[in-house]
Amino acid sequence: MKIATRAAYGEALVALAQKYPQLVVFDADLAGATMTKGFAAAYPDRFFDMGIAECNMTGVAAGLSTCGFIPFTNTFAMFAAGRAWEQVRNSIAYPRLNVKVVGSHGGLSVGEDGATHQCIEDFALMRAIPGMLVLCPCDGHEMHLAVEALLNYDGPAYMRLGRAAVETVTDAVEGYKFELGKGAVLADGKDAAIIATGIMVQLALKAREILAAEGIGVRVIDMHTIKPLDTALVRKAAEETGCIVTTEEHNVIGGLGGAVSEYLSEAYPVPVVRHGANDEFGRSGTAGAVLEAYGLTADGICEKVRHALTLKK
């Protein structure tokens, strides 16, 4: 089954609205794209369209949260994490308010809209804020669980959603359980570990199949929570496989690759090869064509794994 995480998110909001009466939803004139329109139609008195004014939306949500509500703010990742960064930092994170900042259309798979809307810096921006939870679920199944987990988490959080439809994979994994701050091992292997987030998780599973045919056994970890990083799981992978590849639809600077590298360099140094946007802006094209052009493919991940294996001592 294929569904975009933004679509699953929109469904989750509606599905959880009755159970969580404190849930309120904000949008900034993108309700059709961020998929909050379903919630808006079902719960019009709990939905606020703040117009094209993301900074104010962020601040209003902060104020509303002090009255006991759990606001989810919605716009594109570029504006949620970029334009309103300082509002997220000073009005939400610093006073530790219970607001969930949701950035849809993260990464290069935004496609045709091009570089101005392809946010490849949101993990870095949000991760740098003290106390901020940073999430990027990989599929519709995981997204539903993530939304409910966020409703039960009292504190500031950022969650990225994707535009493109992606295969649901986590529902078929035996023993899969969603917990904030805990990565999930989707498939095991002893030669290398791929730590992936968002839409790169499905591609990592494909890369594993390709490499299996070459006799290389790869562990695939779905790291839906980028901060706080599941350091125990990362360390275990480093100890047991000896080399790591991180993959994300984000700049290789400051995101998942940065987080894993920072941790392992201090705790258990092994080769870490980062896969992502190679410190360059995106460009227009269909989602598939842009990902291909930037090497964000299963083959691209395989190359990084082969390279990581050569670095292994």
Partner 1 sequence: MEKLYGSQLAITATRARLLALGAVHTAASGHIGGSLSAIDMITALYFNVMNIDPAKPDDENRDRFVLSKGHCSPALYAVLALRGYFPQEDLKLFRSIKGHMSGHAEMRHVAGVDMSTGSLGQGISAAVGMALGGKLQKKDFRVYAVLGDGELAEGQVWEAAMSAAKYNLDNLCAVVDVNGLQIDGATKDVMPTEPLDQKFAAFNWNVITAEGHDPCALVKAFEEAKAYKGKPSVILAKTVKGKGVSFMENNYGWHGKAPNDEQFEQAKGELEAKLAELEGK
* Catalytic residue list: 54
Q: Binding residue for partner 1 (CB under 8 A) from 69, 153, 176, 268?
A: 69
Residue 196 interacting with partner 1 (CB under 8 A): no
Q: Is the dihedral of CA 243, 198, 80, 83 positive or negative?
A: positive
Other Cβ atoms less than 10 A from the Cβ of 155: the count is 15
Residue 43 interacting with partner 1 (CB under 8 A): no
Residue 24 interacting with partner 1 (CB under 8 A): yes
Helix (H/G/I), strand (E/B), else coil: 147? helix
Q: Is the separation of the CB atoms in 133 and 227 below 8 Å? A: yes
- Closer to partner 1 by CB, 30 or 186: give it: 30
- Spatial distance between the Cα atoms of 251 and 281, rounded to a whole number of angstroms: 9
DSSP string, 148-213: HHHHT--S-EEEE--SSEEE--GGGSTT---BTTB-EEEE--SSEEEEE-TTHHHHHHHHHHHHHH
Residue 156 interacting with partner 1 (CB under 8 A): no
Residue 75 interacting with partner 1 (CB under 8 A): no
- Spatial distance between the Cα atoms of 137 and 152, rounded to a whole number of angstroms: 17
- Spatial distance between the Cα atoms of 82 and 178, rounded to a whole number of angstroms: 28
Q: Binding residue for partner 1 (CB under 8 A) from 45, 174, 266, 279?
A: 45
Residue 131 interacting with partner 1 (CB under 8 A): no
Tokens, residue 28:
């900034």
- Closer to partner 1 by CB, 61 or 169: give it: 61
Residue 213 interacting with partner 1 (CB under 8 A): no
Rounded to a whole number of angstroms, the minimum distance from the CB of residue 147 to partner 1 is 21
State yes or no: cis peptide before 271, omega within 30 of 0: no
Rounded to a whole number of angstroms, the minimum distance from the CB of residue 47 to partner 1 is 11
- Closer to partner 1 by CB, 89 or 227: give it: 89
Q: Is the separation of the CB atoms in 79 and 107 below 8 Å? A: no
- Closer to partner 1 by CB, 56 or 231: give it: 56
- Spatial distance between the Cα atoms of 122 and 248, rounded to a whole number of angstroms: 12
Q: What single-letter DSSP state applies at residue 119? A: B
Residue 36 interacting with partner 1 (CB under 8 A): no
| Piece of 1-9, 82-90, 273-281, 300-308 that binds partner 1 (CB under 8 A) | 82-90
- Closer to partner 1 by CB, 91 or 170: give it: 91
- Closer to partner 1 by CB, 86 or 262: give it: 86
Helix (H/G/I), strand (E/B), else coil: 270? coil
Segment 83 to 102, residues that bind partner 1, using CB under 8 A: 86-87, 90-91, 94-96
Residue 20 interacting with partner 1 (CB under 8 A): no
Q: Which chain residues interact with partner 1 by CB under 8 A? A: 24, 45-46, 48, 50-51, 53, 55-56, 58-69, 71, 86-87, 90-91, 94-96
